Amino acid sequence: MFKPPFILSIAGGGSTYTPGIVKSLMVRLADFPLAEIRLYDIDGERQSVIAPVVEKVIRDHSQSIKFTVTTDPEVAFSGAHFVFAQMRVGQYKMREQDEKIPLRHGVVGQETCGPGGLAYGLRTILPMVELCDFVERYANQKAWIVNYSNPAAIVAEGVRRLRPNARVLNICDMPVAAMRNMGAILGVDRHKLEVDYFGLNHFGWFTRVLVDGEDRLPELRRHIAKFGLLTEDAAQTDPQHSDPSWVKTWRHIKPIMDHFPEFLPNPYLQYYLMPNDIVEHQNPDYTRANEVMDGREKKLFAAAAEYKQTGILPDAFHVGVHGAFIVDVACSLAFDLRQRHLVIVENKGAIANLPYDAMVEVPAYITSEGPEPVRMGAVPLFHQTLLMQQLASEQLLVEATIEGSYEKALQAFTLNRTVPTMQHAKAILDDMIEANRDYWPQLQQAWKDGE
Ligand code: G6P
Ligand code: MN
């Protein structure tokens, strides 16, 4: 293993999340010593707006850390020990399309779930593979990519198929955000919780929530039956997910558990289990992408402009579980801490009745050679079936991307639980091909009449 201090590159440097992640790194410098932070983005202009904010965050904590901002992959990754990836291919403008196109057809419009997530997958798999290749070419041989890029389930499967030996660990902050809320409800720091969980990314269930060896899920069930997975002061517990749409999402844990009280669902299951309700209450002309562009993004850009003018940086970004979690995972990888975290990992029997090679989300011990998944056993038929259908949809989408197959893309869309009929699937897919002309690989129809 390499020795600290580390060189860390952030791919997707222009993200609204970058300042929060860097702030999390700064408060953990004693645990995760850094020699250099590099920001890398293909959109140099956007990155140059965020970079001074990031530099200020660094300088408030350290004068010695070198800070580099680049659009050149060789500069970004040469000799790097860690790469935090958080790319958003097509940026929020394309997220808006992912959300609005399905809604025009009366189907859930969401960043990572349903047709929106599939479309985002078709945009992201190949750029993510390109990033793996840059890292392999330029970075330290033992470098780890810790990946937040969405749609994480599809990205993980795409990378597994195309670059099976890449040192990538795919993660998501949703389970840990749920654990933070559980901790707040139970009056216990989230680090004290040891959970069992099974599923795919944005599609899973907590089955046990241990505190000092005692399962506190019964107590959480009683709270959720009244309030969902929400504390009284939601904004304080979770500044990152405190917009009204997120508050509603946490509340939706209640109707799901009213019907199926056994396990505690990932909030994203609302899109698959109550899609009609979601569509009915969604303004098709103003979706979450608009909320984010008018909220988080605008606020950060305005703060960057103010900082440039006055030299004073207003409070404009959140430092929460999102940043803390990726630093925790990186520490465990760097120092072989074998900490137990919920991550996305090749199944290898962890969920006994899902395919051996499926990319699942389960607890794993994070070693310097990667995650060792913890056995969750066999899951009930209901959950297994939901998971298999979602897995098939996502795997077909990956195959569609690799093979350039229209049929497989249409099968992926048709199999997704949010899509009621094959006609809906085709209409949405065809609109999305149009909207994604600059991003998707060509999809060919092998069985077209006359060919
Ligand atoms: C959670 C999920 C992420 C997702 C994010 C969207 O944190 O784990 O995968 O990207 O929510 O949040 P936003 O505020 O952009 O809607
Ligand atoms: Mn996520």
Q: Are residues 155 and 121 in contact, defined by beta-carbon separation less than 8 angstroms?
A: yes
pLDDT for 408 equals 98
pLDDT for 247 equals 93
Query: How far is it, in rounded angstroms, from Cα 18 to Cα 50?
Result: 8
Question: Does residue 365 carry a catalytic annotation?
Answer: no
Atom of ligand 1 nearest to the CA of 148: 9
CA of 175 to the centre of ligand 2 (A): 8
Residue whose CA is at the smallest distance from ligand 1 atom 1: 174
Q: Which two tokens stand for residue 29?
A: 């410098």
Q: Which two tokens stand for residue 398?
A: 């990956």
Ligand 1 within 6 A of CB of 366: no
Verdict on whether the full-model pTM lies above 0.90? yes
pLDDT for 451 equals 54
pLDDT tens series, the chain, 451 aa:
789 999 999 999 999 999 999 999 999 999 999 999 999 999 999 999 999 999 999 999 999 999 999 999 999 999 999 999 999 999 999 999 999 999 999 999 999 999 999 999 999 999 999 999 999 999 999 999 999 999 999 999 999 999 999 999 999 999 999 999 999 999 999 999 999 999 999 999 999 999 999 999 999 999 999 999 998 777 677 777 778 899 999 999 999 999 999 999 999 999 999 999 999 999 999 999 999 999 999 999 999 999 999 999 999 888 889 999 999 999 999 999 999 999 999 999 999 999 999 999 999 999 999 999 999 999 999 999 999 999 999 999 999 999 999 999 999 999 999 999 999 999 999 999 999 999 999 999 988 765 5
Ligand 1 within 6 A of CB of 174: yes
Question: Does residue 268 carry a catalytic annotation?
Answer: yes
Of 89, 150, 343, the one to substitute when testing ligand 1's pocket (max ligand atoms within 8 A of C-beta) is 150
Of 92, 174, 238, 245, the one to substitute when testing ligand 1's pocket (max ligand atoms within 8 A of C-beta) is 174
Ligand 1 within 6 A of CB of 292: yes
* Bond before 5 cis per omega within 30 degrees: yes
Burial classification of residue 54, based on how many CB atoms lie within 10 Å of its CB (0-12 exposed, 13-18 middle, 19 or more buried) = buried
Of 99, 200, 240, 241, the one to substitute when testing ligand 1's pocket (max ligand atoms within 8 A of C-beta) is 241
Total count of residues recorded for the chain:
451
Atom of ligand 1 nearest to the CA of 172: 8
pLDDT for 323 equals 97
Q: Are residues 144 and 84 in contact, defined by beta-carbon separation less than 8 angstroms?
A: no
**For the residues of 346-383, what is the DSSP string, one character each?**
E-TTSBTTS-TT-EEEEEEEEETTEEEEPP-B---HHH
Closest CA to 392 of 203, 263, 242: 203
End-to-end CA distance of the chain: 55
Sign of CA dihedral 440, 446, 450, 451: positive
Atom of ligand 1 nearest to the CA of 245: 16
Considering the candidates 173, 196, 328, 431, report the single residue annotated as catalytic. Answer: 173
Whole-angstrom CA distances from 158 to 31, 326, 337, 409 are 32, 21, 28, 14
Ligand 1 within 6 A of CB of 176: no
Residues by chain with Cβ below 5 Å of ion ligand 2: 172, 174
Atom of ligand 1 nearest to the CA of 240: 14
Closest CA to 128 of 107, 94, 92, 154: 154
Ligand 1 within 6 A of CB of 172: yes
The distance of Cα 217 from the centroid of its chain, to the nearest Å, equals 25
What residues have CB less than 8 Å from 218, skipping those under 6 apart?
none
Atom of ligand 1 nearest to the CA of 296: 14
CA of 288 to the centre of ligand 2 (A): 15
Ligand 1 within 6 A of CB of 87: no
Ligand 1 within 6 A of CB of 390: no
pLDDT for 333 equals 98
Closest CA to 246 of 260, 224, 263, 230: 230
Which-ligand-closest: CA of 361?
A: 2
